[in-house]
């Protein structure tokens, strides 16, 4: 029977299945936590129960100031956490050895004979072990007992030494993840503040907002509807989205929709089979196939013939299409970017544009600001145009002021054309006010363009109709010249002229 009696030293100095079960339990608990504070609180509570301690604490080591900072304190006796005092001697010993420290009876241990915290608090047993991250002591888990010191023994030290390696690894993963997330937020905020598109010029708030939007949209693969007045640079926006996307190494193809008859446009977009129509002497791929894997930019999507809208919708929905004259269904992985200066909602109401196609195209909408809303960019734009034309050209302050005072109905495109014209007229490499010649119609303030009955109460449609009518009169009814001067499609002015009976 005596053979079954376990001596106290044997009972308390060996790891048991209970210890291993505790390690397994704590490890699983830590793997489900993602916050440093939660991990430390869980550790302290569980390990206090495991060791029978009255006090447990996590002590952070501030390496820069060589100081020990209590971050979390849990008590199981009458003391409040604020009343707990710690032995710096214990902390120093753990820091220097990077090993667990165990004292069975501190009151008789010579190492702590002069430790006021040990003497004043009548601490019987101390157990402390380091949490090591990247071979440095990150902090110390500390436990002490004032009543029952039985469980503070060699087995407990072995148990906590083994467990400290696991706890350190879990804590390191959380800290690294937190640091990564913080850096990611900083980098993303920095990106949002400092996004720069090399192919686009501007530092105004409106352009910075546009650059940020382009950067965000480029990360996805959704369809984008780019809106804005003529001459604002909608194709540049589309190109920038492509260049910043994962498709940048694949083709970027731009197709202007306006002025093209439906049959020609259909063959351009979808391709055709030999013999599909007169002149189709061989098979030909369309732009959708040519842009496979890349981006297709459709400019002036509002002019897309109604009969082709269903085919474009099918491609957006299923990435499927058929060449003209074929029954074979083909696939094309193409990102569609579309642009318009028209009111698509109005076209939908008029039955000229499919509503379902509109929503497929308008997953994200980007509006390009007109030049009159970003006049602070004019000096930078002018310098860029002059550098491209002739690096020796300059512009006077008076000429620059003349540009700043103008409303720019033709936007950046008009400004570039005007600078090119001025570079031809300049005589001494410095552009002066007299070298800047606006078109007569454009140079007048808007209120001078309108009759008195339209100045204060005119609708946008009435203003557009009046300007188109006057422009047609200016060019003696030549619709091509009128369309070019207004920077709109010939088809648009033809439809408007027909509507107005001109």
What's the CATH code of the domain at 475? 1.10.10
Looking at the fold, whether 269 and 286 belong to one and the same domain comes out as yes
User: Which has more pLDDT, 90 or 335?
Assistant: 335
The token duo for 481 is 């010249």
pLDDT at 239 (0 to 100): 95
Question: 405 and 314, same structural domain?
Answer: no
Residue 427: CB atoms within 10 A of its CB come to 9
Q: Between 453 and 101, whose confidence is greater?
A: 101
Total number of domains constituting the chain: 4
Kindly report the CATH number assigned to the domain that includes residue 94: 3.30.450.40
Of 19-28, 29-38, 389-398, least confident by mean pLDDT is: 29-38
The verdict on residue 267 lying in a domain is yes
Question: Does a structural domain hold residue 184?
Answer: no
Whether residues 280 and 381 share a domain: the answer is: no
Look up the pTM and report it.
0.53
- Rounded Cα distance between 462 and 477, Å, is 19
The pLDDT tens digits for 402-426 are 999 998 998 999 999 999 888 888 8
Identify which of 111-115, 223-227, 323-327 has the greatest average pLDDT: 223-227
Residue 322 pLDDT > 70: yes
Residue 208, pLDDT above cutoff 70: yes
Question: What average pLDDT is seen over the chain?
Answer: 80
State the residue range of the domain holding 119. 2-179
pLDDT at 153: 66
Residue 494 lies in a domain: yes
Judgement on whether residues 49 and 174 belong to the same structural domain of the protein: yes
Strand partners for 62: 67
Contact 319, 266 (CB under 8 A): no
Give the model's pLDDT for residue 121: 60
Q: Where does 195-229 have alpha helices with state H?
A: 205-218
Domain boundary among 367, 389, 408: 367
302 and 434 part of one domain: no
Q: Is residue 118, in this structure, part of any structural domain at all?
A: yes
| 3 state DSSP class of 196 | coil
Indicate the range of 17-26, 148-157, 489-498 predicted with least confidence.
148-157
pLDDT band of 181, cuts 50, 70, 90: low
Residues 124 and 22 in one domain: yes
| pLDDT value of position 281 | 86
Tell the residue number behind the tokens 């013999």, with chain if given.
275
Read off the pLDDT band of 463 (50, 70, 90): confident
CA neighbor of 140 nearest in space, from 69, 52, 34? 69
Sort strands 224-227 and 320-321 into parallel, antiparallel or unpaired: unpaired
Residue 350 lies in a domain: yes
- Residue length of the chain: 502
Task: Give yes or no: residues 78 and 164 share one domain.
Answer: yes
Percent with pLDDT over 70 in the chain: 75
- Choose from 253-262, 278-287, 331-340, 444-453 the range with maximum mean pLDDT: 331-340
> Span 212-241, mean pLDDT?
93
In a domain, residue 93? The reply is yes
Task: For residue 61, give the DSSP letter.
Answer: E
Q: What is the CATH number of the domain that holds 417?
A: 1.10.8.60
Q: Is 238 a residue whose pLDDT tops 60?
A: yes
* Nearby residues of 372 by Cβ (< 8 Å), 6 or more positions away: 407, 408
Mean per-residue pLDDT, 432-449: 63
Predicted pLDDT at 234 = 94
Residue range 31-35: mean pLDDT, rounded: 58
Contact 120, 129 (CB under 8 A): no
d(CA 264, CA 269): 9
Last residue of a domain, one of 367, 383, 398: 367
Asked if 33 and 127 sit in the same domain, the reply is yes
Query: Is the same domain home to 413 and 455?
Result: no
Residues 343 and 490 in one domain: no
Kindly state whether residue 222 falls inside one of the protein's structural domains: yes
pLDDT of residue 441: 45
Confidence of residue 8 (pLDDT cuts 50, 70, 90): very low
Q: Are 321 and 270 in contact (CB under 8 A)?
A: yes
Judgement on whether residues 391 and 470 belong to the same structural domain of the protein: no
DSSP state of 82: G
Q: Residue 1 has what pLDDT?
A: 38
Whole-angstrom distance, CA of residue 397 vs CA of residue 428: 15
Inform me whether the pLDDT recorded for 22 exceeds 90: no
Residue 298: CATH number of its domain:
3.40.50.300
Contacts (Cβ under 8 Å, ≥6 apart) of 244: 197, 214, 215, 218, 219
Candidate ranges 39-43, 419-423, 440-444, 458-462; pick with highest mean pLDDT: 419-423
- Tell me which of 391, 406, 438 is where a domain ends: 438
pLDDT top residue among 21 and 267: 267
Q: H/E element holding 45?
A: helix 36-51
What is the spatial distance between Cα 366 and Cα 344, in angstroms, rounded to a whole number?
A: 14
| Res 115: pLDDT | 60
Q: Is the pLDDT of residue 148 over 70?
A: no
The answer on 329 and 342 residing in a single domain is: yes
Residue 468 has a pLDDT of 80
Residue 135 counted as domain residue:
yes
């Amino acid at each position: 029977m005596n053979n079954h009696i376990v001596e106290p030293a044997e009972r308390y100095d060996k790891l048991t299945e209970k210890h291993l079960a505790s390690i397994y339990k704590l490890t699983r608990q830590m793997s489900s936590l993602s916050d440093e504070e939660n991990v430390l609180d869980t550790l302290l509570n569980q390990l206090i129960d495991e060791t029978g301690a009255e006090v447990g604490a996590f002590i952070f080591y501030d390496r820069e100031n060589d100081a020990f900072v209590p971050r979390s304190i849990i008590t199981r006796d009458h003391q409040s956490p604020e009343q707990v005092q710690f032995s710096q001697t214990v902390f120093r010993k753990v820091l220097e050895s990077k090993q667990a420290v165990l004292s069975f009876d501190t009151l008789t241990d010579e190492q702590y004979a002069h430790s006021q915290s040990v003497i004043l608090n009548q601490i019987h047993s101390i157990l402390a072990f380091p949490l090591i991250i990247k071979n440095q002591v990150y902090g110390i888990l500390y436990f002490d007992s004032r009543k029952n010191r039985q469980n503070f023994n060699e087995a407990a030290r072995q148990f906590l030494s083994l467990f400290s390696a696991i706890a350190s690894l879990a804590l390191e993963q959380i800290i690294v993840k937190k640091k990564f997330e913080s850096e990611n937020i900083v980098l993303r905020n920095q990106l949002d503040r400092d996004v720069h598109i090399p192919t686009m010029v501007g530092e105004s708030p409106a352009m910075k907002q546009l650059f940020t939007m382009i950067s965000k949209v480029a990360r996805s693969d959704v369809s984008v509807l780019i809106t804005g007045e003529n001459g604002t640079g909608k194709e540049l926006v589309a190109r920038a989205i492509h260049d910043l996307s994962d498709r940048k190494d694949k083709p970027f193809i731009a197709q202007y929709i306006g002025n093209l008859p439906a049959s020609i446009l259909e063959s351009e977009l979808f391709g055709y089979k030999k013999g599909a129509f007169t002149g189709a002497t061989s098979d030909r791929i369309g732009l959708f196939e040519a842009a496979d894997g890349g981006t297709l930019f459709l400019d002036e999507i509002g002019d897309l013939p109604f009969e082709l809208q269903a085919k474009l919708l099918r491609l957006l929905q299923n990435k499927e299409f058929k060449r003209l004259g074929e029954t074979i269904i083909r696939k094309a992985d193409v990102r569609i970017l579309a642009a318009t200066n028209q009111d698509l909602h109005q076209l939908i109401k008029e039955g000229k544009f499919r509503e379902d196609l509109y929503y497929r195209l308008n997953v994200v909408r980007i509006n390009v600001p007109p030049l009159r809303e970003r006049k602070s960019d004019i000096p930078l734009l002018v310098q860029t145009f002059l550098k491209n034309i002739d690096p020796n050209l300059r512009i006077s302050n008076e000429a620059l002021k003349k540009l700043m005072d103008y409303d720019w109905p033709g936007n950046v495109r008009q400004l570039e054309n005007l600078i090119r014209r001025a570079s031809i007229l300049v005589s001494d490499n410095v552009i002066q006010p007299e070298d800047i010649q606006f078109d007569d119609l454009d140079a007048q303030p808007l209120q001078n363009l309108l009759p008195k009955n339209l100045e204060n109460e005119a609708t946008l449609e009435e203003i557009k109709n009046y300007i188109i009518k006057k422009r047609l009169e200016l060019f003696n009814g030549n619709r091509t010249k009128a369309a070019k001067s207004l920077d709109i499609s010939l088809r648009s002015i033809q439809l408007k002229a027909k509507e107005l009976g001109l």
